[in-house]
C-alpha cells in the first residue's frame, strides 16, 4: 500500500479499490464492482477492514470447526472408517482399529444392533459386478483385505449369517468323498474324511484331493473338462487322470483366494455350481479369474472348503476352538442381575429368600412351566368368532419374512450356507391365510404349505393335513425344533437378517 493524503489504493488480487477522502457534499452514486480475492494470500498481507460492525453469528457452536474435526479420526490415528452392507442398499459405517479382524468387526456389529444371537455371523467380501463372494476367515485383518481392492471394480463388505463356515467340523466323517482323498506321496494310500480334515488342521502329513472340473477357457466361452489335484503347495492341472508326473501348477494358494460364483449364467457355465480362483493382487478383470464348474452343489461346497483348509487349516481350527470355548464360558452377569435374588411366596409368613441354588433353579423351571400352561389355556379357549384368527405373534420373530417370494427365500437360504435344518417362514402368495415353511435339506430348499383348519369352533395351523395342529406359528416352530414330524429334518437354524 502506498501513502497519499488525497487518495489511497488497496490492491486485492488483480482488482484495485480506491478509497477517497470524506467530503461534506454527498458523493456521486457508484455501483459496486466485484472484487477478486487471491486465496494464496500470506498471513502478513494487509486486509481491508470495514467501518461497519460485523453481524453477530447466532449459532457459534455449529460453526466451530474444532467440534467437527474432533469427531473424525486424524491422519495419525489408528482408527479407520469402513462401510459394511446389510443388504444390497443398506449399509453402516463403523470405526475400527488398524489390526481389527473379521471376527471383531462381526462382534462390534452384533453389539451395536443389540442382537442376542452372536454365533455364525460372518463378514463377506462381495464383488457385485463379477458375481463373486467369499466368507472372510475370522483371523483375517479387514483393512488388509480392503487394501487389495482395485478402483476399477466395485467391492464391498457384507454382514450376514453363514452357518456353513465350520459345518465340516460337525460332520467330518461324511463331508469329503473317500474316493477323492489320499496321501500325496502315495496315491494308493486312501484316507477317510475325518483323517483328511485332521491332517489339514495340523502340521502332519501332506494329503491331496483329486477330481474333474469344467474349466472356462481364457477369452473364450467354451468349457473343457480337466483333471485337478489340490495339495499344500497349490492347485495342479492335468489332461490325464493318472498322470501325476506331468502336473502343471494352476494356482498358488498363498497369493489367491477361492470365491463362490453367485450367478454362473453370466459366464455361460454348464451348471450353476461354479467357483473361481482369484489372485489377491489382480485388477478384478475377467481374464484374471480362473473359473471352474462343478457337477453338483455338494461337489462345489467340498472343494471350496478344501481350498480353505489347504491354505490355513491350522488357523481355521484355532478359530473354531475359540468360538466353541466362548460358548462354554460362563456369562458374566450384569450389575442389575447381581442385585436380584430368588424369592418364595408360597408360605404364610410372606416371602423368603431362596439361598439354595438347586432350589432356586427348580423354582425358576416351575415358574416357566406354569407360565406356558397359562398361555396355552388362554389360546385354547373356545373361539366362536367366524373371522380369521390373527396369528400375529410370529411377526416379531427373526425367522418370519412376511411376503417373501419363493425365489427370494431360496436365494436367502443359499446365501447363508445351505445347511440342513435352516428355515424361514413366509406368507403364501398363492393361498390366502396360509403360510409357507422354506426348509433346507440335503443342499436343497424345500417348501411346505401351512394351512389353517377349523375344529370345534377353534382355528389351528397345520402342515400335515390336520394330524398335528398348532395354535400359532410360534408353537409350530418350537414343536418342529424338537420333533421333525412330517418334515425331513428338524428345524435347527433360523435364517436371520440383521438390519444395519
| 459 domain-assigned | yes
Q: What is the pLDDT of residue 18?
A: 41
Tell me the β-bridge partners of 8: 19
Whether 127 and 197 map to the same domain: the answer is: no
The domain boundary residue, chosen from 273, 302, 326: 326
Neighbouring CB atoms inside 10 A of 243's CB total 11
Q: What is the pLDDT of residue 259?
A: 96
Q: What is the pLDDT of residue 77?
A: 67
The domain boundary residue, chosen from 301, 326, 351: 326
Whether 185 and 296 map to the same domain: the answer is: yes
For residues 171 and 407, give the distance between their C-alpha atoms in angstroms, rounded to a whole number. 28
For residues 145 and 344, give the distance between their C-alpha atoms in angstroms, rounded to a whole number. 56
| 385 domain-assigned | no
Neighbouring CB atoms inside 10 A of 452's CB total 17
Whether 407 and 299 map to the same domain: the answer is: no
Residue pLDDT tens, the chain, 500 long: 444 444 444 343 444 444 444 444 555 555 555 555 554 444 444 444 444 455 665 555 444 444 334 344 555 568 899 999 987 778 999 999 999 999 999 999 988 877 766 678 999 999 999 999 999 999 999 999 999 998 888 999 999 999 989 999 999 988 999 889 998 888 788 889 999 999 999 877 789 999 998 998 865 678 989 899 999 889 999 866 655 667 889 999 889 999 999 987 788 889 999 999 999 877 666 778 899 999 999 999 999 999 999 999 999 999 999 988 877 666 555 444 455 566 666 665 556 777 777 777 777 767 656 655 544 444 444 444 434 445 566 777 889 998 899 999 999 999 898 999 999 999 999 998 899 999 999 999 999 999 999 888 888 999 998 889 999 899 999 999 999 999 999 999 999 887 77
The domain boundary residue, chosen from 309, 326, 343: 326
Q: What is the pLDDT of residue 62?
A: 47
Whether 235 and 112 map to the same domain: the answer is: no
Whether 178 and 289 map to the same domain: the answer is: yes
Decide the pairing of beta strands 79-85 and 156-161: parallel
Helix (H, G, I), strand (E, B) or coil at 19: strand
Q: What is the pLDDT of residue 427?
A: 93
Whether 291 and 211 map to the same domain: the answer is: yes
Whether 173 and 131 map to the same domain: the answer is: no
| Alpha carbon separation from 347 to 209, 249, 285 (Å, rounded) | 69, 79, 77
Whether 310 and 452 map to the same domain: the answer is: no
Q: What is the CATH number for 191?
A: 2.30.29.30
| 234 domain-assigned | yes
Q: What is the pLDDT of residue 181?
A: 93
Whether 319 and 183 map to the same domain: the answer is: yes
SS (H, E, C) the chain: CCCCCCCEEEEECCEEEEECCCCCCCCCCCCCCCCCCCCCCCCCCCCCCCCCCCCCCCCCCCCCHHHHHHCCCCCCCCEEEEEEECCCCCEEEEEEECCCEHHHHHHHHHHHCCCCCCCCEEEEEEECCCCEEEECCCCCEHHHHHHCCCCCCCCEEEEEECCCCCHHHHCHHHHCCHHHEEECCCCCCECCHHHHHHHHCCCCCCEEEEEEEEEECCCCCCEEEEEEEEECCEEEEECCCCCCCCCEEEECHHHEEEEEECCHHHHCCCCCCEEEEEECCCCCCHHHCEEEECCCHHHHHHHHHHHHHHHHHHHHHHHHHHHHHHHHCCCCCCHHHHCCCCEECCCCCCCEECCCHHHHHHHHHHHHHHHHHHHHHHHCCCCCCCCCCCCHHHHHCCCECCCCCHHHHHHHHHHCCCCCCEEEEEECCCCCCCEEEEEEECCEEEEEEEEEEEECCEEEEECCCCCCCECCHHHHHHHHCCCCCCCCCCCCEECCCCCC
Query: What's the grid cell of residue 458?
Result: 377353534
Q: What is the CATH number for 144?
A: 3.10.20.90
Q: What is the CATH number for 458?
A: 3.30.505.10
Whether 400 and 480 map to the same domain: the answer is: yes
Q: What is the pLDDT of residue 357?
A: 77
Whether 200 and 156 map to the same domain: the answer is: no
State which residues form the domain around 449. 392-494
Give the total number of structural domains in the chain.
Answer: 3
| 130 domain-assigned | yes
Whether 157 and 176 map to the same domain: the answer is: no
Q: What is the pLDDT of residue 69?
A: 40
Amino acid at each position: 500500500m502506498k501513502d497519499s493524503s488525497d487518495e489511497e489504493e488497496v490492491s486485492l488480487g488483480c482488482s484495485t479499490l480506491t478509497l477517497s477522502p470524506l467530503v461534506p457534499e454527498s458523493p456521486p452514486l457508484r455501483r459496486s464492482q466485484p472484487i477478486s480475492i487471491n486465496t494464496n494470500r500470506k498471513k502478513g498481507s494487509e486486509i481491508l477492514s470495514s467501518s461497519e460492525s460485523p453481524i453477530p453469528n447466532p449459532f457459534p457452536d455449529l460453526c466451530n470447526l474444532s467440534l467437527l474435526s474432533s469427531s473424525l479420526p486424524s491422519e495419525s490415528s489408528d482408527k479407520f472408517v469402513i462401510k459394511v452392507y446389510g443388504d444390497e442398499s443398506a449399509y453402516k459405517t463403523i470405526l475400527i482399529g488398524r489390526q481389527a479382524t473379521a471376527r471383531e468387526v462381526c462382534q462390534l456389529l452384533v453389539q451395536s444392533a443389540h442382537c442376542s444371537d452372536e454365533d455364525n455371523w460372518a463378514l463377506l467380501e462381495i464383488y457385485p459386478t463379477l458375481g463373486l463372494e467369499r466368507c472372510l476367515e475370522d483371523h483375517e485383518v479387514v483393512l488388509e483385505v480392503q487394501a487389495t481392492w482395485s478402483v476399477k471394480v466395485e467391492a464391498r463388505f457384507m454382514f450376514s449369517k453363514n452357518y456353513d463356515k465350520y459345518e465340516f467340523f460337525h460332520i467330518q466323517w461324511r463331508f469329503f468323498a473317500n474316493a477323492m482323498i489320499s496321501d500325496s506321496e502315495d496315491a494308493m494310500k486312501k484316507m477317510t474324511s475325518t483323517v483328511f480334515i485332521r491332517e489339514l488342521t495340523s502340521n502332519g502329513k501332506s494329503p491331496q484331493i483329486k477330481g474333474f472340473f469344467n474349466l472356462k477357457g481364457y477369452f473364450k466361452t467354451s468349457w473343457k473338462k480337466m483333471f485337478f489335484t489340490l495339495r499344500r503347495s497349490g492347485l495342479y492341472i492335468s489332461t490325464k487322470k493318472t498322470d501325476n508326473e506331468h502336473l502343471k501348477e494352476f494356482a498358488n494358494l498363498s497369493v489367491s483366494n477361492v470365491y463362490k460364483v453367485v450367478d454362473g449364467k453370466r459366464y455361460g457355465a454348464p451348471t450353476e455350481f461354479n467357483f473361481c480362483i482369484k489372485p489377491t493382487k489382480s485388477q478384478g478383470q475377467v481374464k484374471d479369474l480362473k473359473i471352474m464348474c462343478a457337477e453338483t452343489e455338494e461337489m462345489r461346497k467340498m472343494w471350496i472348503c478344501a481350498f480353505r483348509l489347504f491354505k490355513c487349516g491350522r488357523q481355521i481350527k484355532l478359530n473354531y476352538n475359540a468360538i466353541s470355548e466362548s460358548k462354554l464360558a460362563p456369562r458374566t452377569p450384569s450389575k442389575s442381575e447381581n442385585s436380584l435374588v430368588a424369592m418364595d411366596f408360597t408360605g404364610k409368613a410372606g416371602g423368603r429368600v431362596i439361598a439354595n441354588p438347586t432350589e432356586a433353579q427348580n423354582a425358576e423351571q416351575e415358574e416357566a412351566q406354569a407360565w406356558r400352561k397359562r398361555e396355552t389355556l388362554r389360546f385354547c379357549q373356545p373361539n366362536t368368532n367366524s373371522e380369521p384368527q390373527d396369528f400375529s405373534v410370529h411377526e416379531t420373530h427373526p425367522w418370519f419374512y412376511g411376503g417373501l417370494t419363493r425365489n427370494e427365500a431360496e436365494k436367502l437360504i443359499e446365501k447363508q450356507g445351505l445347511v440342513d435344518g435352516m428355515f424361514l417362514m413366509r406368507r403364501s402368495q398363492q393361498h390366502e391365510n396360509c403360510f409357507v415353511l422354506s426348509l433346507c435339506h440335503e443342499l436343497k430348499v424345500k417348501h411346505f404349505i401351512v394351512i389353517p383348519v377349523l375344529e370345534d369352533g377353534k382355528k389351528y395351523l397345520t402342515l400335515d393335513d390336520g394330524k398335528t395342529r398348532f395354535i400359532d406359528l410360534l408353537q409350530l416352530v418350537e414343536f418342529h425344533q424338537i420333533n421333525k414330524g412330517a418334515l425331513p429334518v428338524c428345524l435347527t437354524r433360523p435364517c436371520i437378517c440383521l438390519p444395519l
